[in-house]
Structure 1
Amino acid sequence: MKVDILAIGAHPDDVELGCGGTIAKLISEGKKVAIIDLTEGELGTRGTNETRAQEAATASEILGISARENLKMKDGFIINSQEYQFRIIEMIRKYQPEIVLCNAIDDRHPDHAKAAKLVSDACFLSGLVKIKTDYEGESQKFWRPKQVFHYIQWKNIEPDFVMDISGFLDKKIEACLAYKTQFYDPTSTEPMTPIATKDFLESLTYRAQDLGRLSGVEYAEGFTTEKLLAFKNFEGIIC
């Protein structure tokens, strides 16, 4: 199954939080998007592996993605190893995305930055002809995405560019709230965490609003890029 965009997150809910509005917008424009979760988020304070899986399935339906898989790497202990690189390479070659969206290059949770580097390296290695992979009994062709973009998560990293998500913020928040065990719920009896506060939930709006203010749109999501971007023309730029 070839997709246009492959979004990868260290944990279920990373993708929705980091670039859910962008994904919703791209799907509305006819793009095919798949999501890969590296871990099951089993070390999360609230909820369980099973509830996370159910919540991820609900979020996927809300966004309308084409496919979602979980590689079941060890939560909290993501490493940039050959084993983990090969597992991601298999996914890149399976879905053959033009663009990969992945974790922030620096963040509060150590898995995020580790996943950012792991995915970046795997994207490069996936394009090497001499690296052979077999998936479900069939040899795979080499494939390298044209771009790797990193979404922004907890920390206020200065973006290299933003995506206008005006009209899609509500869809992003709906997908995030599908993870009902993880986020603000005044009736919950589970321990409080930094992402379960009311302030964090409200930050989804005011951070998107602030990036929108800076770029001249209503709401936006920010990304960093690994290489200098070149424009064919100025169409599509919002002034």
Structure 2
Amino acid sequence: MLLDILVIAPHPDDAELGMGGAILKLLAAGKRVGVLDLTSGEPTPHGSPEIRARETAEATKILGLEWRENLGLPNRSLEATLENRAKLAGVIRQTRPRWLFAPYWVDAHPDHTAATKLVDDARFWAKLTKSDLPSEPHHPQRIYNYYCVHLKAAAQPAFILDISDQWESKLASIRAYESQFITGRDGSFMEKLRDEASYWGKTIGVEYGEPFHCREPIGLETFSGLV
């Protein structure tokens, strides 16, 4: 399946947490959006590979995604190796997205920072000729970075997306990961998520928002999308 946008997540649930609202909004606009989870996300205290697979399928259904795959890389020891770079570059060449979305590059979670490095490197490799990679060379126009960080730091995003109309569906997709965010928790996690989204919404004068960054200059064709 050819994609307009490929969201790359270190673990199942990172895409929902970081940009579930954006995914819903892009799909509603007619964009072909896919999510590639790099690892299974297991082991975790209350999960298992089977549980996480069921939860991911439910979240995928809530979001309305038609394409979601898992690269099968090791959780907790994700690395931007040459082998992993080739695997991801192959997916990029086969799906041919215009934009890639990756985690923000400053984080306390080693898997997240490794994922961002891997995406940067694979984007470059995907355009190479005279290689053993599958399909034809392809170079995504831009990498945008979503926030799903474990580092206790104040984010300074490049832009904030209004997800007020998508918030409840985003929240439902996160709740699908019951083993991660419901079981064994006191309920404050979801409240904090809402508070965070409300904070970002407040900064741009809307109810809920999602922050994003980009290492490269962001171009606009019109001013019609600005709030």
Smaller-chain TM-score bracket: over 0.9
- Superposition deviation, residue 86 in structure 1: 0.6
Give the TM-score normalised by structure 2: 0.94
Query: Counterpart of 1:224 in structure 2: which amino acid?
Result: H
- Superposition deviation, residue 197 in structure 1: 4.8
- Alignment partner, residue 224 of structure 2: 235
Among all aligned residue pairs of Structure 1 and Structure 2, give the percentage whose two residues are the same amino acid: 37
Tell me the alpha carbon deviations over residues 42-69 of structure 1, each in whole angstroms, 9 at most, x when there is no partner: 1222210110011101111100112111
- Alignment partner, residue 222 of structure 1: 211
Give the TM-score normalised by structure 1: 0.89
- Superposition deviation, residue 127 in structure 1: 1.5
- Superposition deviation, residue 150 in structure 1: 1.0
Residues 54 and 96 of structure 1, relative CA distance in 2, 3 Å threshold = same
- Superposition deviation, residue 132 in structure 1: 3.1
Query: Counterpart of 1:235 in structure 2: which amino acid?
Result: S
Gaps of 5+ in 1: 135-139, 189-195
- Alignment partner, residue 5 of structure 1: 5
- Is residue 99–residue 146 contact of structure 1 (8 Å, CA) maintained in 2? yes
- Superposition deviation, residue 171 in structure 1: 0.7
State the secondary structure of the residue aligned to 1:217.
coil
Residues 84 and 219 of structure 1, relative CA distance in 2, 3 Å threshold = same
Query: Counterpart of 1:116 in structure 2: which amino acid?
Result: T
- Alignment partner, residue 54 of structure 2: 54
Tell me the alpha carbon deviations over residues 17-57 of structure 1, each in whole angstroms, 9 at most, x when there is no partner: 00001001111111111110100111222210110011101
**Counterparts of 2:44 and 2:127, CA distance in 1:** 34
- Is residue 5–residue 31 contact of structure 1 (8 Å, CA) maintained in 2? yes
CA RMSD for the aligned pairs? Answer: 1.4
**Counterparts of 1:46 and 1:130, CA distance in 2:** 46
Gaps of 5+ in 2: none
- Alignment partner, residue 193 of structure 1: none
- Alignment partner, residue 178 of structure 2: 180
